[in-house]
Amino acid sequence: MAHLKDLLDVFLQPGELFVADAGFQIRTILGSCVSITLWHQESCLGGMSHFLLPTRGHKVKHNEMDGRYGDEALELMMADLRARGVEPQDCQAKIFGGGNMFPGHGHASGIKVGQRNGMAAREMLQLRGIAVVKESLFGIGHRQIIFDLSRGDVWARQVKPSALELAAQPGEGKKS
């Protein structure tokens, strides 16, 4: 097995996804965005997405799909895995992110973007028959994620804002 220092490192920006073999580790930083990881134990193939919204709301052609939307990012990852001989239903899924980056700033519906993203990820995987073996969702702050494709391990570190950062948010400080 490869050691982390021997793996090629890929950093995902929002809206990106990456599918590869055991020679890679994939990293990202998530706020309200969500990452889904899929990993196939026997082949050590897997992938990770970093999506901003659950869906764009209307159907598009496969060649027009966009990784910024969770449903499309998942379809693109699944297609990449199938092209490498892996059925996505044989993979383990893990879900990360969906943090509340601006506590105290409500949404009219009471559900924040991060919550919608996390709930959508769960539902998308369930509908496709892909088992979720771990998740680290919601809460306050952002997460740093590292996915080791050689072992299927995902490290997630949640970073909560300090009291000073929370106090500096518009509408959060004392009124004068």
Task: DSSP for 70-135, please give it.
Answer: HHHHHHHHHHHHHHTT--GGGSEEEEEE--BSSTT---TTS--HHHHHHHHHHHHHHHTTPEEEEE
Give the total number of structural domains in the chain: 1
Is 176 a member of any domain? no
**Domain annotation covers residue 175:** no
Rounded Cα distance, 72 and 64, in Å: 9
What's the one-letter identity of residue 19?
V
CATH number at residue 70: 3.30.1330.200
At residue 164, the pLDDT reads 59
Indicate whether 39 pLDDT > 50: yes
* pLDDT tens, position by position, 55-97: 997 777 767 899 999 999 999 999 999 999 999 999 999 999 9
At 12, list the tokens: 């995902």
**pLDDT surpassing 60 at residue 106:** no
Position 51 in a domain: yes
User: For residue 54, is it within any domain?
Assistant: yes
Does residue 19 surpass a pLDDT of 50? yes
Does pLDDT of 175 surpass 50? no
- pLDDT band of 170, cuts 50, 70, 90: low
Among residues 35, 73, 36, 68, the alpha carbon closest in space to that of 53 is found at: 68
> Left if phi > 0, otherwise alpha if psi is -120 to 50, otherwise beta: which for 152?
left
What is the extent of the structural domain holding 62?
4-168
Band of residue 174 on the pLDDT scale cut at 50, 70, 90: very low
State which of 1-15, 128-142, 154-168 shows the largest mean pLDDT: 128-142
- Predicted pLDDT of residue 172: 42
Instruction: With respect to residue 24, please indicate whether it lies within any of the assigned structural domains.
Output: yes
Tell me how far apart the alpha carbons of residues 115 and 100 are, in angstroms, rounded to a whole number.
Answer: 8
Model pTM? 0.85
Whether 100 is in a domain gets the answer yes
